[in-house]
């Protein structure tokens, strides 16, 4: 799919709004202990490609995570995620009507991590598309999701997301390959 100039402008506006709201709403109460303060420290968190599957759903994706704030002395960060998810739904006989689907995502992300485990909660918007133009017109939708990763550069992944509309959800277990600063 090729973005038109209008879509690029909308995507850029949504990216700016997401980053701005992340910065505004990411403050910690100043009365908390010194070790629990949020520190403004913009940095690349991770870059990954992944593939997940579960019975009737297959998904491949690529994500870029950027940290804006980190909790001092803890492995918690708040930032953004820009990514693409391409997923295929079937019904044991044939592909599901409208499938495959592609989502261009812009999320606000909260991440907690240890040496080998990373858990992310995601909320944002997606530009939802279907390969079948008669199924559902391409449009912007609210999107929420989660991701649990085990491993550093290569690992196991449990991932899911939804726009709370029929046929906009997927859940899968799979593998990922990428870079992460933790």
Q: Say if 160 falls within a structural domain.
A: yes
Number of domains in the chain: 1
User: For residue 88, which of 131, 58, 49, 132 has the smallest C-alpha distance?
Assistant: 58
Q: Say if 99 falls within a structural domain.
A: yes
For 9, the domain range is 5-27+37-180
Q: Is the pLDDT of residue 20 over 70?
A: no
Q: What is the pLDDT of residue 2?
A: 45
pTM of the predicted model as reported, rounded to 2 decimal places: 0.75
User: For residue 78, which of 10, 131, 140, 124 has the smallest C-alpha distance?
Assistant: 124
**Residue 81, domain CATH:** 2.40.160
What is the CA angle 34-38-39, rounded to 5?
100
Q: Pairing relation of β-strands 101-113 and 38-54?
A: unpaired
Using CA atoms, how far apart are residues 13 and 25, in angstroms rounded to an integer? 18
**Residues 108-139 pLDDT 10s:** 999 998 888 999 999 999 998 887 767 767 88
Using CA atoms, how far apart are residues 74 and 167, in angstroms rounded to an integer? 37
Q: Say if 32 falls within a structural domain.
A: no
Q: What is the pLDDT of residue 5?
A: 53
């Amino acid at each position: 799919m090729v973005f038109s100039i209008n879509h690029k402008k909308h995507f850029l506006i949504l990216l700016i709004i997401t980053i701005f709201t992340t910065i505004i709403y990411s403050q910690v109460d100043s009365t908390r202990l010194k070790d629990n303060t949020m520190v403004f420290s913009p940095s690349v968190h991770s870059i990954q490609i992944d593939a997940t599957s579960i019975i009737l759903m297959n998904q491949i994706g690529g994500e870029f995570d950027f940290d804006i704030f980190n909790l001092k002395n803890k492995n918690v960060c708040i930032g953004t995620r820009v990514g693409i998810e391409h997923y295929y739904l079937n019904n044991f006989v044939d592909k599901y009507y409208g499938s495959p689907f592609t989502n261009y995502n812009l999320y606000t992300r909260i991440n907690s991590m240890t040496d080998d485990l990373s858990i992310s909660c995601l909320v944002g918007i997606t530009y939802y598309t279907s390969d079948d133009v008669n199924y559902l017109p391409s449009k912007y939708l609210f999107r929420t999701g989660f991701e649990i990763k085990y491993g550093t550069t290569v690992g196991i992944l449990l991932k899911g997301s939804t726009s709370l509309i029929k046929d906009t959800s997927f859940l899968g277990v799979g593998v990922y390959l990428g870079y992460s600063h933790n």
